[in-house]
Amino acid sequence: MSMANSRRDFLGMVFGGFAGAGGLAALYAMKRTWDPLPSVMAAGFTTVDLSPMKAGELRTVTWRGKPIFILKKPPEENCNHIPDETKKRLVKVGDSEYLVMIGLCTHLGCIPSWEPDKKTFHCACHGGEYDACGVNTFGPPPRPMDIPPFKIEGTKLVLGEEGPEYKKMVGKA
């Protein structure tokens, strides 16, 4: 009797384990099916030539479907709120300095608009405000605008690749 029972238990456990392994494999397949496709991943690079930009000009480029703000800094201008933070966020390309950031509000992802006379970014969705360096100064945004991974090649900026300047900036090097 106990012999038969334990054999039955054993069969039950083997069956359960087998079905469980199959279920896990299926779950993994389902997870991978929802992952971004290889073609989407491969299209994740954008190259921008920064040399024609004027001081104080803001340019918006698209990278991975997101707006990227590139602001060429005039030499005298500064973000007064947090000077250290500003220095950390400036990218030196050639002789000039640039601010490069993902133009999405860090609260819920709307696109803040640049107000050149006030030198601020204003997000209309929930009233968030950022200074000219993309540092959050008011409202619900929890952190400054994110820095996209970039690499510098001469006067060109390659978005999507982690160059040494990027790694230094985000403290990965």
Partner 1 sequence: MAHFTKANSVYEWLDQRLALDKLWKVLAAEYWIPKNINFLWAMGVVLMTMFTILLISGIFLLMYYKPDTKLAFDSVNYTIMQEVWFGWLWRHMHAVAASVVFLVIYIHMFTGIYYASYKRGREMIWISGMLLFVTFSAEAFSGYMLPWGQMSYWAAQVITNLFGGIPFIGDDLVVWIRGNFYVSDPTLTRFFMLHVLLMPLIIMAIIGLHFYTLRIPHVNNQDGEEIDFDAEAEKYKAGLKKESKVIPFWPVFLSKDFFVLGVFMIFYFYLVFYHYDFAMDPINFDPANPMKTPPHIYPEWYFLWSYEVLRGFFFNVGPLSAMDMGLIAFGIANVIFFFLPWFDKNDEVAPASRRGGFKVWFWLLVIDMIVLTIWGKLPPTGFNAYIGYVAAVGFLALWAALPAVTARKTGLLWFVILVTLALYVAGYMEYTKALGNGFLIVSLFVIFYLLFFLNPVMVRNRGGAR
Q: Which residues bind partner 1 (CB under 8 A)?
A: 31, 34-37, 40, 44, 60, 62, 64-67, 107-111, 123-127, 139-142
Query: Is the torsion defined by CA of 107, 137, 161, 116 positive or negative?
Result: positive
At a CB cut-off of 8 Å and minimum separation 6, what does 45 contact? 63, 158, 159, 160, 161
**Closer CB to partner 1, residue 98 or residue 121?**
121
Q: Output the smallest distance, CB 26 to partner 1, in A.
A: 16
**Closer CB to partner 1, residue 51 or residue 60?**
60
Q: Output the smallest distance, CB 106 to partner 1, in A.
A: 8
**Closer CB to partner 1, residue 17 or residue 36?**
36
Q: Output the smallest distance, CB 160 to partner 1, in A.
A: 10
Distance (Å, whole) CA 141 – CA 161: 26
62: left (phi over 0), alpha (psi -120 to 50) or beta: beta
